[in-house]
Structure 1
């Protein structure tokens, strides 16, 4: 189970990433036809290629893009609705569960009104913990005491080769590519207090099984999730 990390580490981690990504995902490239892997299990919801702020860039002179901060977007799990509403009223509401923020929208917050993040000061009950186990093998959410202890508040960039067990992808300093972490599942509590699990699968368009092209289109998110609607901690899926 994941451990919490300090605000100092969070800031240092993302400042480092901000400098590094100047070398990555900076140029526009034609769409790539990639066979989509099958993540359907008949119970979970699978989202393919949800476009983030694809018009933003971390560098100057990128065709079709503007150098500026990436606009955050918000996602409601129960309705599968994406919103770009950045008003305080919206952010403090329970109309979203996940906020895709920061560089390439890859820092993913839950809607927690009691913690630092987009939902601070609102009514959201969101929490998130990381588990090193395949999605289908995660069958139960922990009790609330364990959730409180291990809550991360967000999922982002993890360290390699010594992972902190908090992120959903590695960033390679050699290739300057984001590499999704296999068998890293996040157990979540939604803004409304229901329990679920989440697998953040890819940030590259088409969900390619491997990326070797520095300029592959991003951010386009593929992820899947299951939320237990009866309020229990049962997260079993096929």
Structure 2
């Protein structure tokens, strides 16, 4: 009996390992940029007594999708086109875009042309961006918790009020305009280190962002990455 249980456990472990490897391989389509475990403000905490962390507000930071780099001096660079998306709020979980015309954007008053909309399709199924006019009409300004009153059913993650664990929304992709006005698509995959399939531990290391995106450099709305 013990031998049988051991064999079953081994088979299950191999199946889980293969599944994780397959899912990871699916991220790399040859066209998209994949960012893994990009640390946010990992020194901040919502509570006292968390090892290695300080109870304080999370510091904002920006990300340049073309250079694949973080911009942490937000005060100096907010109103420039050196960033495309920003991470703000609790656990840096709210994603904002760089828009010089949107009062809700840190880039308000600058040259940024950013817009962002939610598409109820998986990343690979999003092959064309909406028209510029449609994006302007449906612009969300930011995406975060799916239950946020001002952006209900357009967020990138669900938040369990009992476990306090964030779970990415499946089958939802974000189409955006970069700071310089190019169409792009974005899938935010995880806020936890290692991009785990399931998180059950409230103290799992976070925020460590895994996401992928594709920028159409020719100016067209073609976002096909298949």
TM over 0.5: yes
Moved more, 191-200 or 114-123: 114-123
Map 1:145-164 → 2, pairs under 5 A: 145-159=133-147, 164=152
- Runs of at least 4 residues off by over 4 Å: none
Deviations 1:36-68 (A, max 9, x none): 623100000000000000000111122111111
What is the SS of the residue equivalent to 2:62?
strand
Q: Which structure ranks higher in relative contact order (CA pairs < 8 Å, sequence separation ≥ 6)?
A: 1
Deviation at 1:195, TM superposition (A): 0.1
In structure 2, C-alpha distance between the alignment counterparts of 1:146 and 1:42, rounded to whole Å: 29
What is the SS of the residue equivalent to 1:157?
coil
In structure 2, C-alpha distance between the alignment counterparts of 1:61 and 1:175, rounded to whole Å: 18
Map 1:121-140 → 2, pairs under 5 A: 121-140=109-128
For structure 1, the residue ranges without an aligned partner over 5 or more in a row are 1-34
TM-score by length of 2: 0.86
1:59 aligns with 2:32: no
Larger Rg: 2
1:98 aligns with 2:78: no
Moved more, 187-196 or 115-124: 115-124
In structure 1, C-alpha distance between the alignment counterparts of 2:71 and 2:81, rounded to whole Å: 12
Map 1:13-92 → 2, pairs under 5 A: 37-38=24-25, 39-87=27-75, 89-92=76-79
CA RMSD of aligned residues (A): 1.6
In structure 1, C-alpha distance between the alignment counterparts of 2:156 and 2:97, rounded to whole Å: 14
Deviation at 1:140, TM superposition (A): 0.7
Deviation at 1:100, TM superposition (A): 0.5
Moved more, 221-230 or 108-117: 108-117
TM-score by length of 1: 0.82
Deviation at 1:179, TM superposition (A): 0.6
- Asked if 2 retains the 8 angstrom alpha-carbon contact of 1:130 and 1:165, the reply is no
1:180 aligns with 2:180: no
